Amino acid sequence: MLIFNYKADLEAHLAPYISKGSSIGFVPTMGALHNGHLSLLRQSVKDNNVTVISIFVNPTQFNNPEDLEKYPRTVDADIEQIATVSPDIIVFTPSVDEMYGGNTQSASFSFDGLEHQMEGSHRPGHFDGVGTIVKKLFEYVNPTRAYFGEKDFQQLQIVKKLVEKQNMPVQVIGCPITREPNGLAMSSRNQRLTGQDREKAAFIYKVLNEAKEKFKNEDVMQVKNYVEQAFAQHPEFELEYFEIADEDTLVPATVKENKKYRGFVAVMLSNVRLIDNISLN
């Protein structure tokens, strides 16, 4: 398997593919890979002539230094997992210096308001960090298609907006959430949960499904109250937010209109922050 640490080497390797018009699929990650990432890779391998995955824990998108420090880093195991999808996948594992050249700062973006909702207000600066790194990675990889999981639905919408605003010729493809058999959305952060906590965390998806069911007959505020009460009865969870928002604008709803809605949740469990979402209609 080809592994590049330097952007110049990656660009030199990809240049002939780009000049002969081969399609390049790209899966940006922060490593600690799980089946969700592997499903993105499988989709990319199916759709494109060449697939690139980046593994880079991006410091500028962490608003909490402890979260950055504790973020799992498992590159050797990641590379073994990538090889099970295809040995032809190209891996890019740059250092912080390689990506930021000694100036580990984010640029400032406007994503037409998407950045102010939910994760944006709870994690100040997070989406500037994501925008900064995704833009750099897209510039180096020049992907035809880039694959993002719907677990980070807000991030997916923001990356689509980034590409639109920066006129980047990349098709951004959202892929369904991969779940554990008990319903817990797969996430690199799950590695920080004990086995018992992983079982408890199945409650999150259970409540989201109940919200979906209730949304058929009840109004927005009733469903919101139901979810808030459900978490309040399980004090091991600290609910940061539950929002019912318009899928396109991510603006939280207070009343139902003729729109596509999603329920979005962020909770703390044993000091690990978990997010999930579900399509409601």
Is residue 114 a contact partner of residue 165, using CB atoms and an 8 Å limit? no
Residue 41-60 contact track with ligand PAF, rule CB under 6 A, x = bound: -----------------x--
Q: Does 79 bind ligand PAF (CB under 6 A)?
A: no
Q: Does 152 bind ligand PAF (CB under 6 A)?
A: yes
Residues 111-140 that bind ligand PAF (CB under 6 A): 130, 133-134
Q: Which is nearer to ligand PAF, 150 or 243 (CB)?
A: 150
Q: Which of 13, 34, 37, 116 is catalytic?
A: 37
The one segment of 28-36, 197-205, 257-265, 268-276 that binds ligand PAF by CB under 6 A: 28-36
Rounded Cα–Cα distance for residues 99 and 65 (Å): 19
Number of residues that bind ligand PAF (CB under 6 A): 10
Rounded Cα–Cα distance for residues 193 and 17 (Å): 41
Q: How far is CA 161 from CA 113, 158, 244, in A?
A: 10, 5, 21
Q: How far is CA 74 from CA 6, 56, 93, 102, 191, in A?
A: 19, 11, 12, 24, 11
- Concerning whether 122 is annotated as a catalytic residue, the answer is no
Rounded Cα–Cα distance for residues 118 and 241 (Å): 8
Q: Which of 25, 28, 36, 94 binds ligand PAF (CB under 6 A)?
A: 28
What one-character DSSP code corresponds to residue 184? P
The minimum distance between CB 194 and ligand PAF, in angstroms, equals 23
Residues that bind ligand PAF (CB under 6 A): 28-30, 58, 61, 130, 133-134, 152, 155
